[in-house]
Chain A
Amino acid sequence: MTEVLSMRGIDKAFLGVPVLSSVDLTMNQGEVHALVGENGAGKSTLMKILAGVHTADAGTIELGGRAVSFTHPLQAQHAGVASVFQEFNLLPELTVAENVHLGREPKRRGLIDRRAMIDSTAETLADLGVDDLAPTANVGRLSVAHQQITEIAKALSQGADLICMDEPTAALADAEVELLYRLIGRLRERGTAVLYVSHRLKEIFDLCDRITVLKDGRLVDSVATADITPDDLVAKMVGRRIEAQFPARLPGTETGGTRLKITGGGNDFVDSIDLDVRAGEIVGLAGLQGSGRTEIAEAVFGIAPFTRGTVEVDGTPIRITRPRKAIGAGIALVTEDRKAQGLALWQSVRANARMVLDANARVHSRRRLARVSGLLASLDLVARGEDQEVRFLSGGNQQKVVVAKWLAAEPGIIVLDEPTRGIDVGAKHKLYSVVRELAAEGLAVLLIASELIEVIGLADRIVVLHDGRIAGELPGGATEQQVMAYATGRGPE
């Protein structure tokens, strides 16, 4: 078998944080190769280096035996590497044929030869075994699956020998997944190699010839699919880490009555959510990216409300249609993206910390305002003063300001969506202790984290999501394998 790709010793760091360290990846002609790992394992980064989006800090890349080095996606494209990202690179106002030939339109006497363009697109589609997609169709009106096919046709017509697909089934319906399976089968027959990045074990075992496992930016193993069982694969993906240490449950923490109760909650993103969080309890929401974790937080907080089911706060049914209502009901949400959603960056620490109080007459009080400075201090905020603009603070200190702004309102329920993302270790540990203290004070805490270890280390109960539904529930301290088993849709270990 001919080797089409050989990546050796790839290193990559962002802002000094290593994301990949000496990773190898080899692929053969016509091979469907799975790249797997937890969130943050480095899959996307490796794929983007291959696609020329990022440039590796060290290591070599050979395509068909020739050493290459990409600094721009176009270079990768010319070298025969095409990528189908989750966000498609298509122009919705143009036709399928125009998109397939974008930038390389066939010309006759200096004008675009529409006929030739349509014919060659029809040929490519026929080669892929697709018979229900017209080259003249407008891309913006196509289904996601057909848009994906257009992307793949575009890749082939550019002469790609290697196509990278990032979570290609994430947005597809079941019937469309079948279509993608057939398409990938065709690509294999043609000798086109496919790098298949996915979380979904079933697809990986259905489709792929080989599997490369990454973990924390390092290569764990690269094996033939036939030589490994799903359980062993999960074990390789999660392993065990000892670095994280979590503060123990504080003495005197009592689990009280149910503060938040969701029954049959559902909307466009999630369905059949039954979830309750009691006073003094930390419930972890685990799941892979796109499994509906953030969507549950946003529904509870009224950003994209549940359209089905009921929500009760402290036993009272309530329809939360806007964040204001959620805040009025004593719910706080520390959002995933603190810069875009949490902070007014050009305002002072003080202005941000009192924003929730300022904005809501229902929670505003002099007593609470007077507590803000003390809150900031108790979170060990490091700033030049409360007048300093928050844009000058480190990520960890910015996050403390966000937490302070919500605690100022003295909520009964706090939802933390990725509270430790992008912050330093010290600030992380401070936040872990804060979460414990909040539970001890009788708050109901709903904790969302990509880092499984955080959920396992902090939560009293872990609710695992898969495809917008609750796949299972585990006690705190469960193993990563158990969580991943539910998260990948395989049921209990």
Chain B
Amino acid sequence: MTRVRDLLLRATNPTATVFVLLVLVFAGVFAMNPGFFEGPSLMAFLKQAAPLVILAAGQYFVIVSGNFDLSVGALVGAQVVIAARLIDGEESRTLPVMIVMVLFGIGVGLVNGLITTALKVQSFITTLGMLMVLYGAIRLWTGGAPTGSLSESFRVFGRMGIEDVPVLGQIPWALLIMIAVGAGSVLLMRTRFGRILMAAGDNERAAALSGARVDTARTIAFVLSGLSATIAGILIGGFAGVSAQVGDGLEFTVITAVVLGGVVLGGGRGSVLAAMAGALVIEALFTLFNQMALPATLRPAVQGAIIIAAVAYAARRRTRPVPTATATPS
């Protein structure tokens, strides 16, 4: 009896819930289309989902430290446009331009972080401003429509993979990059930096009084988010090609994903793995919609409903009386 209750309690823990949801949505997809779990189509799904999962990892660092990053969608768009314009079809420019993109991603994260921490502007406003600045600057720079084109070697990351693998067909580079980012993020959260980031989001004052460089840690979180947007930009550019709308609205999708993963807005709680699983749930849900032939225009409404439901769910759990420790006062 207690075991059942224990299990239930654990399954309704916001972090665990997302994995239960993941299984449920995949089951739905499977019911609609049993062929989905065959190697090639599963690989195709993961290739498409990889950018959002990577963005979720980046966003997780920012959210867990007590902030938001609304600028990631615009940054993804900016990176794709920058890549197309600077590479302009020249294979030899691929590597230098990618380095420029990484620096740009770091720079945007740094600016977000410094404005938020040093100037004490709420991150919601800082990154909303950054979103608009990037959006406007890119359109100004390109004169409205993106120019240039990506090189073949640039597009390899988003499109290609290890070919002719038995059963699976292609193992996409995007999937391997996603796994690497995920593993790196999990490991990072187990370092001193990760624990300080978490503590800063939980109780900024306690962390600072313990000697933590709270502002520095939070700024680094923004830089990680900028880097994740850069990687996502490279993958999305490769996968979908160049367009000015490429990152539009992505910030909301990724925040929905992270919240769905049980990461609490305001910081201090949730796991990066669950945040990435949240992104997979969203992508799987979109796949399910496709199979049900629901219009893609329904997506924003569904995202909106999910984000409200997820936060309400987490809030309900928090207001319920907490289970008391078996501990007796000593």
For the complex with contacts A382-B327, A424-B329, 11 further pairs of A-B residues with Cβ separation under 8 Å are: A327-B211, A341-B205, A344-B198, A346-B202, A346-B268, A355-B199, A359-B210, A392-B323, A392-B324, A394-B325, A396-B329
Also in contact, A351 and B208, with CB within 8 A (given A380-B330, A392-B322): no
In the complex, which residue of chain B has the Cβ closest to the Cβ of A383? Answer: B327
Residues of B within 8 A of A359 (CB): 192, 196, 199, 207, 210-213
Residues of B within 8 A of A355 (CB): 195-196, 199, 206-207, 210, 212
Contact with A along B199-225 (1 / 0, CB 8 A): 100110111111111000000000000
Partner of A346, one of B208, B213, B269, B326: B269
Residues of B within 8 A of A327 (CB): 210-211
Q: How far is the CA of A340 from the CA of B208 in the complex (A)?
A: 12
A292 within 8 A of B: no
In the complex, which residue of chain B has the Cβ closest to the Cβ of A423? Answer: B329
Residues of A within 8 A of B322 (CB): 391-392
Contact with B along A180-205 (1 / 0, CB 8 A): 00000000000000000000000000
A426 within 8 A of B: yes
Q: Which of B212, B213, B322 has the most CB of A within 10 A?
A: B212
- Whether the pair B203, A382 counts as a contact (CB closer than 8 A) is no
Residues of A within 8 A of B323 (CB): 392
Q: How far is the CA of A346 from the CA of B212 in the complex (A)?
A: 17
- Whether the pair B330, A396 counts as a contact (CB closer than 8 A) is yes
Residues of B within 8 A of A80 (CB): none
- Whether the pair B198, A388 counts as a contact (CB closer than 8 A) is no
A262 within 8 A of B: no
Closest-CB distance, A356 to chain B (whole angstroms): 5
- Whether the pair B202, A345 counts as a contact (CB closer than 8 A) is yes
- Whether the pair B192, A347 counts as a contact (CB closer than 8 A) is no
- Whether the pair A382, B330 counts as a contact (CB closer than 8 A) is yes
Q: How far is the CA of A357 from the CA of B196 in the complex (A)?
A: 10
Residues of A within 8 A of B203 (CB): 340, 343-345
Also in contact, A344 and B330, with CB within 8 A (given A351-B195, A359-B196, A359-B211): no
Closest-CB distance, B204 to chain A (whole angstroms): 9
Q: How far is the CA of A393 from the CA of B209 in the complex (A)?
A: 21
- Whether the pair B206, A344 counts as a contact (CB closer than 8 A) is yes
Partner of A323, one of B196, B211, B330: B211
Residues of B within 8 A of A324 (CB): 211, 213
Also in contact, A358 and B195, with CB within 8 A (given A346-B269, A383-B325, A430-B330): yes
A405 within 8 A of B: yes
- Whether the pair B329, A351 counts as a contact (CB closer than 8 A) is no
A421 within 8 A of B: no
Q: How far is the CA of A275 from the CA of B307 in the complex (A)?
A: 56
A106 within 8 A of B: no
Cross-chain pairs A/B with CB under 8 angstroms, 25 sampled: A323-B209, A324-B213, A340-B203, A340-B206, A342-B206, A343-B203, A343-B206, A344-B202, A344-B206, A346-B202, A346-B268, A352-B199, A356-B210, A358-B199, A359-B196, A360-B211, A382-B328, A384-B326, A392-B324, A392-B325, A393-B327, A394-B328, A396-B330, A405-B210, A430-B330
Q: How far is the CA of A328 from the CA of B210 in the complex (A)?
A: 11
A156 within 8 A of B: no
Partner of B198, one of A335, A347, A392, A427: A347
Closest-CB distance, A334 to chain B (whole angstroms): 10
Closest-CB distance, A436 to chain B (whole angstroms): 18
Partner of A384, one of B195, B206, B327, B330: B327
Q: How far is the CA of A355 from the CA of B200 in the complex (A)?
A: 11
Q: How far is the CA of A213 from the CA of B206 in the complex (A)?
A: 38
Also in contact, A384 and B329, with CB within 8 A (given A344-B268, A360-B211): no
Q: Which of B209, B212, B213, B329 has the most CB of A within 10 A?
A: B209
Q: How far is the CA of A121 from the CA of B187 in the complex (A)?
A: 66
Closest-CB distance, B212 to chain A (whole angstroms): 4
In the complex, which residue of chain A has the Cβ closest to the Cβ of B212? Answer: A359
- Whether the pair A333, B209 counts as a contact (CB closer than 8 A) is yes
A303 within 8 A of B: yes
Q: Which of A352, A396, A430 has the most CB of B within 10 A?
A: A352
Closest-CB distance, B15 to chain A (whole angstroms): 12
- Whether the pair A340, B211 counts as a contact (CB closer than 8 A) is no
Q: Which of B269, B326, B329 has the most CB of A within 10 A?
A: B329
- Whether the pair A397, B205 counts as a contact (CB closer than 8 A) is no
Residues of A within 8 A of B326 (CB): 384
Residues of A within 8 A of B208 (CB): 323
- Whether the pair B207, A344 counts as a contact (CB closer than 8 A) is yes
Q: How far is the CA of A148 from the CA of B268 in the complex (A)?
A: 41
A8 within 8 A of B: no
